[in-house]
Amino acid sequence: MQATDLHFGVVNAPGQRYHPAIIAQAVSALCEMFPRRFWIAVGSGQFLNEHITAEKWPSKMDRNQRLKECVDIMRALWAGETVTHNGMVDVYDAKLYTLPGYMPSIVGAALTTQTARWVGGWADAMITTSRPQDELKQMVDAFREGGGEGKPVYLKVQLSYDITMHKAVEGAHQQWKNNVFSSSLLSDIRSPVGFDAAGAMVRPEDMKAGVRISDSADQHVEWLSRDIEAGVSELYLHNVNLNQSKFIDDFGARVIPQLILPG
């Protein structure tokens, strides 16, 4: 990333596998390396990733409480405070000795309107995933109503683009079929075996419910333009199939130049 001026970020679930003090230190180092270019998105996590600690998997409500505690801990550390905290996460006498020089941007990850409204009250921005325009508008509105007015909205767009419609569908099904389920289901799956089992019954024709599939660049322009109309500030495009060369070439030449993002 040092050879570019791109802004970039990561998604993280502090509180179980990753202690917030460790995440705060890592973010501080990255902000020192890439000033005002790096952001961190935080979410409540998935059992598939977090179960390795052998701790009890909390309810969604408790995970949200834990997440907010982690956010408060990280912000206090970035502000130069020595932090001791006892709650759903414990910290004792923690202090960062390399501070970021500014308060890093924390992006709240949200997949439901309820979560979007909640993160609006404390996050610097929201990130969510692509969905029909009316549902996306509801997400954006909920974020704004919860306190996110004037804050950016990032959209991770799950798409499949290839030389033919058949290849686009086939590639999406091969690579992404396990990810078409609701967040409530995916967050509670414990093992890779369970993850694979969840996708075993997904048919190629089911993929359009969770992935934007088309071999037409113009169709993708139309979809992405609607996202911008719904209030999205930044688009992060994820071509879920393996034909990345065609995706990069065609979107660079025929899609991205037609999009006008705010600011």
More confident residue, 115 or 188: 115
At 135 the pLDDT is: 95
Whole-structure pTM over 0.85, yes or no? yes
At 21 the pLDDT is: 98
Region 74-92: mean pLDDT is: 98
The percentage of the chain sitting over the pLDDT mark of 90, rounded to a whole number, equals 85
Q: Give φ, ψ of 243 to 5 degrees.
A: -85, 70
Poorest-pLDDT segment among 9-18, 58-67, 76-85, 192-201: 192-201
CA 104/CA 67 separation, integer angstroms: 16
At 263 the pLDDT is: 67
Q: Is 54 left (phi over 0), alpha (psi -120 to 50) or beta?
A: left
Region 221-242: mean pLDDT is: 97
Q: Say if CB 238 and CB 172 are below 8 A apart.
A: no
Region 112-125: mean pLDDT is: 97
Nearest to 64, CA basis, from 88, 40, 85 = 88
> Per-residue confidence at 200, pLDDT binned at 50, 70, 90?
confident
